[in-house]
Structure 1
């Protein structure tokens, strides 16, 4: 792969993986403005590894507490707020895992449809904007209950619709349920960990079965760039939304959706 292609794809994946703007919509624009060949499945796996590493490193302290408390809870030694949060992440992951496995072929068929991506960007962007404007929640992620987790998990399954954005739809539902902006984003980021593991695991299985030769240097560079950009994205996004909210991303989604319709419809 060309070094510029590696850099561009890595930065796009790292930044848009966690912003409520749909990474798939951005990746589909790359071949429109370049003559680069398809980056291949191995590089996609590497980018997922980078994003996964970023969110784990960023939330390492919370994750260590959650894992320790979850094991105590699972063995009957009591349940605290960290254990409950871990259980809610597990519960919220189940719907998207079930739907993703059941509809894998259908998703792959329509995931890169420019028109569907555009409509998803616009429709769910408007929904996010209305919810962020109308709902002013004050609860943290530690004040969630199992119903909140289940509803957010069900909404996450909608992210399989092109252009929806996994982070965008989960933040939207969390805001509707009364979580504050930062808590909505933090729970969405925690939810990304099992989702990326599942998606990356399926891609890895496909890669092993294909027997494709890989360029380890390209994969290493893509992993590092994706990870660093994703880490910075998480950090600045959490600081940004406390002061300004989701509206700039809503405007951006609508403009990007219109651009996709203009280019492909």
Structure 2
């Protein structure tokens, strides 16, 4: 079992004691540096913890996971070991939405569900991703990442960066592209109150593909649109977290619900 201290690291600590704790599962290839613009958001009244997947940051020496189930198993164990009594919001963007959803199903099955689930910028499990990258050679793989906006063009021309980041990027994309459940269930399988988020100019997951998660979620309305592309979660973090706070604000008044 991976220790919670290795998997979960604080990202935002509120100026005043926060009533809610958000646990964020990042997108494919992301490390702590991708969320650097989240650090100043300590005025929102929300504590945020970032999930660190193996193969990056302080877990660089660990082998990368190549299946969403591996990450969800580790995360569910880490969450169950947390001593924090506050309502926990489990959130994920893109690949992170798959990790968050699978973790939520494990927590529900164990009788320890989170207070809320946030799924952002990801197609539903019974749908295939519109862009498949993991089978491409290194050059084409990196070119596609640059086109998506997931990395800078310097990765193309810097051998040291390619050697450092390509293994974790490839592992993440193998994991997210392998993740699929078909067909959709006859009735929603997850009971946790849920929020769906969609970027207004997201070319990787359409609004309809995000809305299709409703087949899996008993308590989820249509997606809420946030201005931005696929990476609105890091480009406009205040807007992202503002939507989360607004949707789950009742938990701060009724923490036992």
Q: Which has the higher helix share?
A: 1
Q: Which has the higher strand share?
A: 2
